[in-house]
Amino acid sequence: MNDSRHEGAGEVRPPTADFGGCADSSVVLEGVSISKGYGSRGSRRQVLSRVDIRAMRGRCLGLIGGSGSGKSTLMRIVLGLESPDGGVVRFRGEVLAGRSCDGARRRLRMQSGLVFQNPHGSLDPRWPVWRSVAEPLTVGAARGDRSRIVRRVEEALASVGLDPEEFMGRYPCELSGGQAQRVAIARATVNDPALLVADEPMSALDVVARERIMDTFASIRAHRPELAMILISHDLGIVRTIADDLLVLHHGEVQETGVAADVLDAPRSPYTRRLIEAASL
């Protein structure tokens, strides 16, 4: 794995033909005017109102928003873990709304990987590393034999810069924050997913570990040009190094969306400007 530091920002990919294009095969996951509210009649809290989100093959979407902006709820809806009040979710063109189409939801599950905020919280403390990483491989038809699983696990650990020999048998309590998060990334990518979703993967880590995770994401994307990725964060500084496109969310409404470079150079909404100012030196 090239542990060499990328000088300056990771290479930002050129935009596809037109961002608002029709539903072509390059769109892995799409949410159209997603709305969601909580609470009973009296204290109705609208968390998301008519949000459009699109994850493109080979591109990384940075989903930016402060706490309470609804970004985690949006992720749960888009991944089929929660159903929206309004709007529709399509995975590779197949509509995901409602219980009826479990097929699409299961396919989405099998072809997407998840990384969470708290590294040690997302790994079962009683499982050694190799068993956590192998879990997605032991599901459904792709069960495969023991040696294939062990080989895939070793490849996955190597792809996140962890020496399999040293880390296979380790337990989460024997790992640093950065190492645990990289194990989580290995688990999320071991099944060659079409979509990788990372919810605030770096905010629980210190600066040095964050840089390491950033390089890990960059190398993962380098080895998997087809991978679509959604990186959720409240910090523009972290996201801009990896994201090709940006979606700024505030109080459940889309403030701004577009190619990362354009948004950073000419932010249109005042909220985006505050985010940029908060993330600059």
Partner 1 sequence: MMDGVMIVLRSVWRRAEGRFSLTVLCLWVAVSVVSLFWTPQPITNTDGYHVWASGSLRHPLGTDGAGADVLSWLMAGSYVDLLIVVATVAFSAILGVALVSAMVARSVMLSSVSVVVVDALISIPTVVLALIVAVPLGASIAVVIVACSIGYGLNLARVARPQALLAARSEYVVSAAASGVTGLRILATHILPAIVPTMAVQLSLSAGTSILAESGLTYLGIGVPSGVPSWGHSLSTSASFVNVYPFAALWPGLVITVVVTALNVFGDMLRDAVDPVVNPRLRRDRTRAGRRS
Partner 2 sequence: MSLEIHGLSMSIGSRAIIRDVDASVADGERVGLVGASGSGKSMLARTVLGLAPVDAHVRGSALLDGRQTVGASDEELADVRGRFAGMIFQNPAASLNPLTAVVDQVMLPLRIHYDLSRSERRDRAMAMLDTVGISNRLARSFPSELSGGQQQRVAIATALVTSPRLIVADEPTTALDSITQRQILDLLVSLVDDSGASLLFITHDFSVLMRTVTRCYVLDEGRIVDESAIGEMGGPASAEQTRRLVDAARRLRLPSGRGGASAPARKGGRDE
Residue with tokens 């097929």: 103
Using alpha carbons only, what angle is made at residue 188 by residues 182 and 193, rounded to the nearest 5 degrees? 135
What span, in angstroms and rounded, lies between the C-alpha atoms of 214 and 202? 8
> Applying CB under 8 A, which of residues 115, 184, 214, 259 lies at the interface with partner 2?
214
CA dihedral 93, 233, 51, 86 (to 10 degrees): 80
Piece of 124-132, 167-175, 209-217, 252-260 that binds partner 2 (CB under 8 A): 209-217
Q: Minimum distance between the CB of residue 276 and partner 2, rounded to whole angstroms?
A: 4
Residue ranges in 128-187 that form contacts with partner 2 under rule CB under 8 A:
176-177
Q: Which is nearer to partner 2, 7 or 165 (CB)?
A: 7
Q: Minimum distance between the CB of residue 150 and partner 1, rounded to whole angstroms?
A: 8
Q: Is 273 in the site for partner 2 (CB under 8 A)?
A: yes
What span, in angstroms and rounded, lies between the C-alpha atoms of 164 and 154? 5
Q: Minimum distance between the CB of residue 81 and partner 1, rounded to whole angstroms?
A: 7
Q: Is 35 in the site for partner 2 (CB under 8 A)?
A: no
What span, in angstroms and rounded, lies between the C-alpha atoms of 114 and 112? 7
Q: Whose CA is closest to 254, among 274, 265, 269?
A: 269
What span, in angstroms and rounded, lies between the C-alpha atoms of 34 and 253? 10
Q: Is 237 in the site for partner 2 (CB under 8 A)?
A: yes
Task: Kindly list the residues in this chain that would bind partner 2 in the complex (CB under 8 A).
Answer: 66-68, 176-177, 203, 205-211, 214, 234-238, 240-241, 264, 267, 273-281
